[in-house]
Amino acid sequence: MSDSKNGTAFLDKLAADSAKAGGPVVPHPDDTGAVGKTLFDLPGSTDLTVTVVVPKDQLHAAPAQSLVRIKSRTDGRTYLGVVTAGPFAEPDGLRGDSPMLTAVVTHGGDYLPPYHGRFQVTILGEELKDGELTPPRLRPVPNSTVFVLDDAEAGTVLKCGGDVRLGLAVGHERVEVGAPAKAKSVFPRHTAVLGTTGGGKSTTVAGLIARARAAGMAVIVLDVEGEYTVMHEPTDHKAMLAGLRDRNLPPAGVPAKDMTVYHLVGRGTANPAHPNLREFSLQFARLSPYAVMEILQFSDAQQERFLKAYDITKELMRDLNIFPAKDSADQQRLALENDEFERGYPRMMLSLLMDVVGACLSRSEKGPKEGRGKKDRDDEDDAPVAFESRTPALRTSEGKAKLATRVNAANPPGNAISWRAVLGRLARLNRMKVFHDEGGKPPMSYTHLLKPGSVSVIDLSDSGYSELNNLVIADILRGVQDAQDNAYTAFEAAKARGHAAAEPPRVLIVIEEAHEFLSEERVTKTPVLFEQVAKICKRGRKRWLGLCFVTQLPSHLPKQVLGLCNSFIIHKLKDPQVVTLLKRMVGDVDEGLWTRLPNLAAGQAIVSFPHFSRPLLVSIDPSQAKLRLTE
């Protein structure tokens, strides 16, 4: 009885003392909604990083990559930051590896001491009254309150929205990540999609293709494996369907009327059942003679003879009234202004060039003229060159005479071995049967590729040669650039006259397996071809022509190519040298994200776009459209 009275007296005295001191502690009004507070800095603290502690019940309120607002307690400044490490659980008043806790755990005890959470925040900037961020001059003081931003506010701060949706930001419930299709600072400044096999690149690219098309862009896919030839069908992949259900997204293919699959003449396609299938041939005239020499790897002697034959062919085309036509001033001007480092000679066909090389070879096999008399030499000059022509215009007596006159007037260098080598390599190109010739399949219509809201898949899965793929890619890039230049010229001319005109289409070209087309080794051997691509990259920024390079071997890409890209989608990569290279290329990615890169799950990627306030870790949306070769 005495003990009960004493206990009651103690509680009464405690209540009286508490009332005398002002009653229970009232939380500071500024702390409402806070998850934790900042700690003092330690000797190991670094610039722009702050340690935050949270009570046990708030341990999971701020997962990694969450955005937080820190209200500095005494100076009234407000900072925004991102959780870059943690949250970690720590026992109150004990070390996590203390002997007592270690003994309890190893012996199966149930004792769990009181604990709290701790995480590291990297300061993004000081928040001004108008919501803008400015580089911080100071740090939050200790015991400052920390708040987690909700999804709506986080999306506004991250500036990661756009009509070309990519996925959801990791660390937030429903923050959508995308890119604006109409911003010239994004897609026209070029994109790189990187990652090892199985990291989710194809899923990312499929979503990029479908949503860029839906946003009104003209999308051209250079598909070396035929993966994207079935995108007109909705996905039936179980894992994709489950992921789509979680995000309330329906399976959906690209409308068949807006999708065309192109394949080279004489080559098959990965999807012969596609409802909109078209064959096309290449135009030899689009290829710069210097690019042809690089691709065929001519020696110096062979280059000299090839260029000589090329010049003879141009003069012969004038004689045959092929190009420029005698009564066309525009064609005459075009012939004079043509830059052969940029493109080939208009309307020149491979078969005609081979005929000229064959004529030069036949002439060189007759040996030198010095041992013959003047009459013999004159007769030889007048005589048609004896060989079987591939061009109908050279099978007539008049055509043969014009060919002989041009060849003999040019006096090409001898050495039948070199001429035979040139002819052999050109014949190897000709045997591919992919170049446009009289009566053959028509060449690609590049204006059709530039239709807004369309997807054009160039299926190269049955080409059989990497050299052929490179020829196709070079031809497509050149043709699309020319068509886009013409569209811009017409648009600007209409504006100058005060006429209403539709703006040129916004174009995105996806280059799959880019390391095969633009490897470091290949660029060294084919500098002219690379210069053409680099020029397209530079000019495309102003003409709404964006390139998207996709590769699992970024180390094989020349640094110049990665340097042309301002947007990056980086899936799982394990090579430390590649990660080091990307650290130099991609700015503002915090070290915590780079540390996670080798262990990213399939479908996760570090995404950096120019309009973002900072790079993000993103969970990429599953593909709504069907893909071939999906595991």
The per-residue pLDDT for range 133-149, each reduced to its tens digit, is: 888 989 999 999 999 99
> What is the pLDDT at residue 316?
96
Q: Where do we find the tokens 């987690």?
A: 148
Task: Extract the residue ranges of the chain whose pLDDT is less than 70.
Answer: 1-7, 22-27, 109, 367-387, 438-439, 631
Give CA torsion, residues 352, 354, 359, 361, to 10 deg.
Answer: 170
Which one is the CATH code of 180-281+442-620: 3.40.50.300, 3.30.360.10, 3.90.76.10, 3.40.50.720? 3.40.50.300
Q: What is the pLDDT, as a whole number, of residue 27?
A: 67
Can you give the pLDDT at residue 374? 45
Question: pLDDT value at position 5?
Answer: 55
Give the containing element (helix H, strand E) for 606: strand 604-608
Pairing of strands 191-194, 545-551: parallel
CA distance 234 to 252: 4
Measured in Å, how far apart are the chain's first and last C-alpha atoms? 77
The token pair at 546 is: 């964006």
Count CB atoms within 10 A of the CB of residue 28.
10
Q: Tell me the C-alpha distance between 238 and 116, whole Å.
A: 41
Q: Residue 510 forms beta bridges with which residues?
A: 221, 548
Q: What is the pLDDT of residue 1?
A: 47
What backbone phi and psi angles, to 5 degrees, belong to 344? -80, -175
Amino acid 234: pLDDT = 97
Identify the three-state secondary structure at position 82: strand
CB burial string 231-258: b at 16+ within 10 A, e below: bbbbbebeebbebbeeeebebbbbeeeb
Neighbour tally for 625: CB within 10 Å: 23
Domain with CATH 3.40.50.300 in the chain: 180-281+442-620
From CA 83, how far away is CA 62, in angstroms rounded? 7
Angle among Cα 481, 486, 487 to the nearest 5 degrees reads: 95
Indicate the CATH number for domain 24-149: 2.40.30
Q: What is residue 377's predicted lDDT score, i.e. its pLDDT? A: 46
The CB-side HSE value for 186 (13 A sphere, CA atoms) comes to 22
Residue ranges of the chain assigned to CATH 2.40.30? 24-149
The pLDDT value given to residue 389: 82
**Is the previous residue joined to 324 through a cis bond, with omega within 30 degrees of 0?**
yes
